[in-house]
């Protein structure tokens, strides 16, 4: 738990994926290195992708492409719901999701529940591009286990965002049915939950397991896709689940996107619709657990 | 130019991208290794992604995800044009694009012009999943420089597919205006050209340069996106250019997709439409050179 790791200057940082693939990034400077009760944290200045955060050697955030992930996990559900005032973010201690959520003036309170204080500490110091949002007066940071938090809280939220790492280590319970039953309990009427739903190309079993779990708990389950440079697998997904009768395309508040005045880098109404178009193999495999989408061209 | 490279068994094969990123794949077996007049060719059996082809150390094809690239470069223009009989593929000596093109029963002739015979030789031996299509009676393989071929041929094509590597080495002239003026000359009335158009995330300058070039030669230029695991950058693009008044969404023959009876793994009508939805940063940067799309919801 120290900042002086910059004395060591490895020239590359490497992420292994299942011992069959690795990504190596050339490192100009190690900014932060620490070991928490949960994981090892590295924040480095890379030569090609800006600053990057690694948890236990797995890339979490890079300055070059974090806008894609954070815009897609936030703006899609916010513009489907249309009237979100209170948001709970589980995980995501880097602050990027909170930053995008708070671009919506209607959001009055956004609570971030992060299990690992060292992630928040490191990002506040070295990833201001995402973590600066945590200083917003509407943001509240709670260091706690997200599973325990939703099991115990009396608060209610219009939108819950599960901004988790992969289903190994501290994030594993965030993929289970008990957690999602508790999430359901803390949602307001019409509330929604969006979750980091893994890759259909390299982690399809984990994705299918999550979607089955959501289908056992919620009336409607949808999946939408985005792309990431710094996650192995290229094509990644978010899930959107709710008990409300809201279709992410039929009920998409497109005019609200323009009215919001938000300057998006990745998101726009065409990307919103496109994200729900799934590759044939993914659509077929998930079909038993997904709610059909109503598209304009099919209406 | 030998098959006996399997005596050497490196445990990983590594692709460097601009000296800031590398992808390493664990190799179970080296199947083919050779040096042609143009490049080094490696075909390996990887532990996680099936067999892979590398040209000069850059991943070209992997069995795990080649269907995405090859379906998207082929079926999108074929279902926009609607009546393609003759196809010219420049590059793509692995045969994957020819395989998808020939799934359309209306295609009577598909000529592949590949500059490097060693690519075709290696793939015929070790990548039958793509190269077997080259034995189809409607396929004709010509070993020649694609630039010289289009400059000299008297043949005419309904669809030209530029299935090229990156704009370095042998593929560089395939990104220039002289080549595209010659492509225009060999197109039939209503003909189209589709090109591998690089990544908007890691090779955006090359993409913008290609789109400017196409805009200087053709009446209509469009860009559509797909995802790839084994190309660095996640989000990759194809360009579609034509002098015909055909909009890839307005004139998309959706009913033809079902009638074709083709078993797609990635492509479907929703993916077709979605692929033309560009991220905001890409849409804005390319806007001066792209033809506006007419979407159903805007019609």
Q: Is A137 helix (H, G, I), strand (E, B) or coil?
A: coil
Residue B183 contacts by C-beta under 8 Å, 6 or more apart in sequence? B150, B160, B162, B193, B217
B19 → chain A, closest CA residue: A26
- Top residue of A63, A249, A274 to mutate, by most chain B CBs within 10 Å, is A274
* pLDDT tens string B12-37: 999 888 888 888 999 999 999 999 99
Strand partners for A220: A242
Indicate yes or no: CB of A265 within 8 angstroms of CB of B274.
no
Alpha-carbon gap: B158 to the closest alpha carbon of chain A (Å): 27
Closest partner residue to B277 (CB to CB) among A64, A270, A279 is A270
Chain B residues in contact with A250 by the CB 8 A cut-off are none
Question: Is B94 a catalytic site residue?
Answer: no
pLDDT at A178: 95
Give the closest residue to B142 by CA, choosing from B120, B127, B173, B175: B120
Q: Does the structure show a pLDDT above 80 at B109?
A: yes
Chain A residues in contact with B273 by the CB 8 A cut-off are 274, 277, 297
* C-beta of residue B175 within 8 angstroms of C-beta of residue B183: no
Closest partner residue to A266 (CB to CB) among B22, B264, B279 is B279
Supply the residues of A annotated as catalytic: 163
Chain A residues in contact with B295 by the CB 8 A cut-off are 270
* pLDDT tens string B134-170: 999 999 999 999 999 999 999 999 999 999 988 887 7
d(CA B113, CA B107): 17
Query: Residue B109: how many CB atoms within 10 A of its CB?
Result: 16
Indicate yes or no: CB of A21 within 8 angstroms of CB of B25.
yes
Put simply, the chain A residues between 227 and 266 with a CB less than 8 A from any chain B CB are 227-229, 231-235, 264-266
Indicate yes or no: CB of B271 within 8 angstroms of CB of A264.
no
Note the Cα A210 to chain centre separation in Å. Answer: 14
pLDDT at B229: 82
pLDDT at A9: 44
Indicate yes or no: CB of B49 within 8 angstroms of CB of A275.
no
d(CA A13, CA A41): 12
Alpha-carbon gap: B140 to the closest alpha carbon of chain A (Å): 30
| Residue appearing with tokens 């609570």 | A111
φ, ψ of residue A137 to 5 degrees: the values are: -60, -20
CB-based burial of residue A209 (10 Å sphere; 0-12 exposed, 13-18 middle, 19+ buried)?
A: middle
Measure CA of the first residue to CA of the last residue in chain B; give whole Å: 56
Chain A residues in contact with B232 by the CB 8 A cut-off are 229
Question: Angle B177-186/B204-217 helices, nearest 10 degrees?
Answer: 50
* pLDDT tens string B200-226: 988 899 999 999 999 999 999 999 999
pLDDT-based confidence at residue B239 (cuts at 50, 70, 90)? very high
Alpha-carbon gap: A278 to the closest alpha carbon of chain B (Å): 7
Sign of CA dihedral A75, A78, A79, A80: positive
Chain A residues in contact with B19 by the CB 8 A cut-off are 26, 47
Indicate yes or no: CB of B49 within 8 angstroms of CB of A277.
no
Alpha-carbon gap: A34 to the closest alpha carbon of chain B (Å): 24
Alpha-carbon gap: A68 to the closest alpha carbon of chain B (Å): 9
Q: Does the structure show a pLDDT above 80 at B298?
A: no
d(CA B299, CA B290): 18
Closest partner residue to B201 (CB to CB) among A25, A65, A280 is A65
d(CA A144, CA A149): 7
Residue A48 sits at the chain B interface (C-beta within 8 Å)? yes
Q: Which residues of chain A have pLDDT under 50?
A: 1-9, 299
φ, ψ of residue B159 to 5 degrees: the values are: -145, 130
Residue B24 sits at the chain A interface (C-beta within 8 Å)? yes
pLDDT at B297: 56
| Residue appearing with tokens 């071929």 | B149
* C-beta of residue A75 within 8 angstroms of C-beta of residue A267: yes
d(CA B230, CA B227): 9
- Residue B219, sorted as left (phi over 0), alpha (psi -120 to 50) or beta, turns out to be alpha
Closest partner residue to B229 (CB to CB) among A12, A201, A277 is A201
Chain A residues in contact with B260 by the CB 8 A cut-off are none
Alpha-carbon gap: B270 to the closest alpha carbon of chain A (Å): 5
CB-based burial of residue A295 (10 Å sphere; 0-12 exposed, 13-18 middle, 19+ buried)?
A: middle
Residue ranges of E strands in chain B:
12-17, 21-35, 40-46, 51-55, 58-62, 86-91, 109-114, 139-143, 157-163, 187-199, 220-227, 235-242
Chain A residues in contact with B264 by the CB 8 A cut-off are 280
pLDDT at B168: 81
Q: Does the structure show a pLDDT above 50 at B9?
A: no
Rounded (10°) CA dihedral A6, A12, A16, A21 = 170
Indicate yes or no: CB of A268 within 8 angstroms of CB of B274.
no
pLDDT-based confidence at residue B84 (cuts at 50, 70, 90)? very high
Give the closest residue to B53 by CA, choosing from B131, B145, B161, B133: B131
Indicate yes or no: CB of B234 within 8 angstroms of CB of A232.
no
Give the DSSP letter of residue A1. -
Closest partner residue to A227 (CB to CB) among B12, B235, B268 is B235
* pLDDT tens string B260-289: 999 999 999 999 999 999 999 999 999 999
Q: Does the structure show a pLDDT above 90 at B8?
A: no
pLDDT at B170: 78
- The H or E element containing residue A275 is helix A269-275
Chain A residues in contact with B265 by the CB 8 A cut-off are 279-281
Alpha-carbon gap: A281 to the closest alpha carbon of chain B (Å): 5
ipTM of predicted complex: 0.93
d(CA A270, CA A295): 12
Give the DSSP letter of residue A35. E
B201 → chain A, closest CA residue: A229
Q: What's the pTM value of the predicted model, to 2 decimals?
A: 0.94
């Amino acid at each position: 738990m120290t900042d002086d790791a910059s004395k060591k200057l490895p020239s590359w940082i490497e992420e292994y994926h299942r011992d069959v693939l690795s990504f190596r990034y050339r490192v100009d400077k190690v900014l932060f290195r620490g070991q928490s009760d949960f994981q090892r944290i590295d924040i480095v200045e890379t030569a090609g992708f800006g600053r990057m955060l690694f948890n236990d050697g797995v890339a979490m955030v890079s300055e070059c492409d974090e806008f894609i992930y954070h815009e897609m996990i936030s703006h899609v559900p916010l513009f489907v719901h249309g009237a979100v005032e209170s948001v709970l973010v589980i995980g995501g201690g880097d602050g990027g999701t909170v930053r995008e959520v708070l671009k919506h003036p209607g959001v009055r309170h956004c609570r971030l529940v992060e299990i690992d204080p060292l992630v928040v500490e490191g990002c506040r110091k070295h990833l201001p591009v995402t973590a600066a949002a945590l200083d917003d007066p509407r943001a509240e940071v709670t260091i706690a286990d997200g599973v325990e938090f939703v099991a115990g809280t009396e608060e209610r939220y219009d939108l819950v965002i599960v901004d988790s790492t992969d289903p190994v280590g501290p994030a594993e319970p965030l993929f289970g049915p008990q957690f999602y039953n508790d999430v359901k309990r803390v949602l307001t009427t019409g509330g929604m939950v969006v979750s980091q739903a893994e890759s259909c190309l390299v982690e399809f079993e984990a994705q299918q397991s999550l979607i089955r779990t959501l289908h056992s708990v919620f009336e409607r389950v949808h999946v939408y896709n985005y792309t990431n440079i710094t996650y192995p697998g290229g094509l990644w997904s978010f899930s959107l689940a709710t008990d409300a009768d809201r279709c992410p395309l039929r009920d998409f508040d497109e005019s609200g996107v323009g009215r919001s005045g938000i300057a998006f880098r990745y998101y726009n109404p065409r990307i919103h619709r496109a994200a729900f178009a799934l590759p044939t193999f993914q659509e077929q495999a998930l079909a038993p657990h997904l709610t059909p989408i109503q598209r304009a061209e099919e209406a």
